[in-house]
Every structure is written in C-alpha cells, then in structure tokens.
Structure 1
Amino acid sequence: MRQASVTLPLGIVIRRTPSVSRWVDWCWQAVGVLPGAAQADWQVLRSEGDAIEYHAATVPLNLWRTDTEAYLNGLSARIPSVGVILRERVGSDETAPYEVLLATASPYEFQDYADSGEEIVELVPMPEGLIALIRDFVEEYHEDEVFVKRRRDKKRIDLVEEGRGDPRISQLTDVYRAPRRGRLN
C-alpha cells in the first residue's frame, strides 16, 4: 500500500532588521527555509550590523496525496514558495516575539490563513531540492479528476406558475394584487 503522506522537517529562518517606523522598533520577516533541519529555538545564524537572522523553529512540512492539485498550482508560480505562518507570542520578550505555527507547500492552505488576518503570513522561496521533492511527490500521486458536465432535466418548469400571486384573483394583468373583500364606498 502506498504512503498517504510525506513529512519533512523544515527549519524557518527569520530576519530581524531595524524598523523605519517610529512606532515599532524591529521588523521581522521569514526569509528562508532549511529542509531537513534539526530542532532549534531562535538560534542566531548570522549577524550583520543591526540585522540578525535566526533559525526560529523547525516545523514539519506535510505533503498529502489528496492535495497534489494545490502543490501543482504552487509549483507553477513564477517563484515556487513555501507559506510560513507566524503568530505573536503573548508576553514574549523582544528576542523571540513570534512562534512558527506552520509551513505549507499548498497555496490554498496558505490563503486560508491569509484570509483570517490573525496571523503573519510570509511566502519564502523554495530551495531547488525542495522543489524537486514536491515535484516527484506530485508525479507519483497526482490523478487528474475527470470533468463531468451536469445535464438538465428535459422537464419544462416554465409551464406551471406555482406560488405566483394569489389564486383567488382571476385576472392575468396583476397577479400580485391582493384580493378585495368588498367595496368600502
């Protein structure tokens, strides 16, 4: 029996740079992924002046054989990307203000998180090795769905005027007029 999914540990790289806004001190952005990375908790990877890159966390990237259409859509983008979803930590310090919720190769799942507006969502370009892994997965499991056009019944529904107007009114000119009980003159 074939495997239903593939899981790959994916390290998330987040860059902290000084903000140009007077209301926020730092700008945080997901800038890279590390396929096959070990566990990490905001480990400093590189520091250049005020800019610091962290290996913030390692999360599983799950590929499901039922989502191959979404993966094909993502691979056909101009720049194939991994969607990274971050959530602000409550009561966190300044060195690790976000937790990494998810990394996904499905643009449909990424769009669901982007629509909510509660999380920070970033697209990070996929490395070549990850593109090859996802492409191989799609080639093995993707099955095109056959389009079946729905056909209408031959029954004519326009010949009967059920539910239109009051049946006590015999005139065809105004079927929406209310019946009169008697003249008030």
Structure 2
Amino acid sequence: MQADAEVYLGVVVERREIDNPWEDYIWRPVMVMPGAPMDVAWKDIHEGEGWKHFLARTLPLELHKSDTEGYRENLGQPVPLVFVALRPGEEVEEEEVEPFLLTACPHEASGYMESGDVIVEGVEMPPSVAAWLVEFVEQHHVDEPFRKRKNKRHEDRDQGSRPRGRFGGGVPS
C-alpha cells in the first residue's frame, strides 16, 4: 500500500548476554533515531558490560490516512511509541535479527505480535516524530460514527422456518 507520508529513522538494537544453555544473547530494539545515515548496517554505537547497541538499519516510518484512529490512540498514551518489528536473520552470515518494519499504529503492531515469529516492541517516539504525527492526524483524521450492526432474522427455507431444539419447541433430528 502506498504511504501517504513517511520519515526515515535509524533503528538501534541491543544485544544482551544471557545465561542460557541454548542462546548466548537476547535481542531487542531500544530506540529510533531521526536523521540516521541511510547506508548504515550494524554499526556499533555503545557498549557496556554484557550488552552492545548497534545502529542496525534505517527504515521508513510510513503513515496511512486509514490508520489515523490507531495513531490517535498511540498519541493519547503518556509516552507515544514507535513499534519496531524484528525477524530472525535468514542467512548464516547475517546478524541474528533483522529490523524490517516501523509503525506508529498499535493495531498494526499487534497483528505482527500475534504471528509469534517476530519480535515487536515499542520504543519511545522522538519528540520531532511525535509532532509530525500529530500534524498528520490533525490533517487526515475523520471521525466515523459508531453504527450498531442489525441482526437479521434467519430463515432456512430448505429445513423449514421453525427452530429446532430446546428453545424452538421442535425435536432435534
């Protein structure tokens, strides 16, 4: 789907050592950076005891007019988030995870969380990105009134219109 607006953000990923017989590290996104270089790939930026931060990749944060309700929900939180999705690296020589998506819509992020194969975590939205998102929502959001769905009476012409079972008075077959 074509984005209505986008901004590029650098994705900072943390690799933290863990005491586990099957894995050496745990990976998680820790921040996004406006103005990051476009051609970066796994640059070390900070290091401490047992952890290391990498500027892993620069990705677009795409906005769509159809998602403004989700953006409003995100902006209404005490700390708005950018959701970062990481998937396992596919090639042996690649890093263990690969950032592949940024979104400001919690509904889209939850869809990726349900897949189970993807790490999705929210990181604090930079103030400049939050201001840009507020402006986008103010320009494009349209409130849709709630419409209660009306139930339709079921008529099964092949089986007769009399309900069967305990409540219908008929005898189940």
Normalising by structure 1, we get a TM-score of: 0.77
Q: CA deviation at 1:152?
A: 7.3
CA distance in 2 between partners of 1:7 and 1:177 (Å): 59
CA distance in 1 between partners of 2:146 and 2:163 (Å): 37
8 A contact 1:9–1:38 mirrored in 2: no
Is 1:117 matched up with 2:116?
yes
CA distance in 1 between partners of 2:49 and 2:55 (Å): 18
Is 1:129 matched up with 2:128?
yes
Unaligned runs of 5+ in 1: 166-173, 179-185
Q: Note the 1:44-123 alignment, pairs <5 A.
A: 44-93=44-93, 96-123=95-122
SS at match of 2:92: coil
Check 1:149–1:29 CA distance in 2 against 1; reply closer, same or farther (3 A cut): closer
Q: Deviations over 1:104-142 (max 9, x none)?
A: 001000000001111111111111111111111111111
CA distance in 2 between partners of 1:22 and 1:151 (Å): 56
Unaligned runs of 5+ in 2: none
Letter in structure 2 aligned against 1:98: V
8 A contact 2:28–2:119 mirrored in 1: no
8 A contact 1:164–1:176 mirrored in 2: no
* Structure showing greater Rg: 1
- Work out the number of aligned pairs and report it: 162
Percent same amino acid at aligned positions?
Answer: 34
8 A contact 1:86–1:98 mirrored in 2: yes
8 A contact 1:15–1:28 mirrored in 2: yes
Check 1:175–1:144 CA distance in 2 against 1; reply closer, same or farther (3 A cut): closer
Letter in structure 2 aligned against 1:69: E
CA distance in 1 between partners of 2:170 and 2:51 (Å): 75
Check 1:114–1:175 CA distance in 2 against 1; reply closer, same or farther (3 A cut): closer
Aligned partner of 1:42 in structure 2 is 42
Check 1:176–1:8 CA distance in 2 against 1; reply closer, same or farther (3 A cut): same
Normalising by structure 2, we get a TM-score of: 0.82
Aligned partner of 2:139 in structure 1 is 140
